[in-house]
Amino acid sequence: MAKGVFIHNPDTPYDDDPATRYHFPRMYLKRAKPVIGDNVLFYQSGKKGGYTATARVESITPDPKDPEGHYYANILPRSYTPFSKNIPFRLNGKPANAFLDNGDGTVNRGKQVWAVRPISEEDYMKIVALAAVEVSELPRFDNAEFEVGEANQDPFVFDAERETVEVVLNKKVRARLFREKVISAYDKQCALTGMRLINGRGRAEVQAAHIKSVEYDGPDSVNNGIALSGTIHWMFDRGLVSVSDDYEILVSRKVNNADEVDRLINKDRRVILPKNEAEWPHSKYLAWHRKHHNFEAA
């Protein structure tokens, strides 16, 4: 086994869903096989990119539509952990993944184009350790090329002990990262009511709800999350409200005080969505929610 990095961009032409599977061409099969049973990082390219999440690869299987040309790296259920903030490409002036370093801090452009690449245990843990730290304690990262140590800051010191991996994959830490990612995507606003209540310390009242529940292996991906106020979250988890594939708010026939619910939800009965379309709820999770609750709209 060995750790690796998968390049994933929101506008990818591949059939990717990082929380469940990663789609890649046959040319990368030899590089992907060693990561079976081990952890990978997902990396998004571009100025606003960086390392976005970690997960464990359970298996690799041929794409049934193109078994000779493409494959899926299947993600172990509940192992996908998105980072609340992207971890930058460079740390302390060098590529965070030393595999891409020519030895003098410059990037090996030939290796940089690999969609599947290796990463050492130490470098993997450096990146994951940053994701486990409270955002307020992190150095300021303005973009993926920011180098820690600039602007009169001391270089960030990493504790590369193995336990850091377990820390970030710890249930409580994963829950915090999921909440931060979802609440940030929805700008601290309830998607179904428009309410945005913030306490004196800047903490939002709104909660991060899983669309496909954790109990049924719903992943901690932002596409399986939606920001809801406490009351609406309670109703959503019980199937009293749901969302259509085109993001219409649905109220169940089981609700016996529909007028009260109508006063709570958005007047146009439309979900308030994140600005970034890549963070919108995925239709497969919305469909699961309606089916699981035997949902019938009023």
| Percent residues over pLDDT 70 in the chain | 86
Q: Is 109 exposed, middle or buried (0-12, 13-18, 19+ CB in 10 A)?
A: exposed
Write down the pLDDT at residue 170.
Answer: 67
Tell me if 109 sits within 8 A of 92, measured CB to CB: no
pLDDT tens by residue, 139-171: 323 333 333 322 333 344 444 444 555 555 667
Lookup: tokens for 58: 């359970």
Average confidence (pLDDT) over 255-261 = 89
pLDDT tens by residue, 87-139: 999 998 899 999 999 999 899 999 999 999 999 998 998 898 887 654 333 33
- In 13-96, the DSSP E strands lie at 21-25, 39-44, 50-62, 70-75, 81-87, 90-91, 94-95
CA–CA distance, 10 with 22 (Å, rounded to integer): 12
pLDDT tens by residue, 179-236: 888 999 999 999 999 998 777 666 778 999 999 998 898 988 899 999 999 999 999 9
Q: Is 93 helix (H, G, I), strand (E, B) or coil?
A: coil
* Whole-Å CA distances, 214 to 31, 149, 173, 184: 31, 39, 15, 20
Set out the domains of the chain in order of their start, with CATH numbers: 4-168 (3.10.590), 174-292 (no CATH)
Separation of CA 6 from chain center: 14
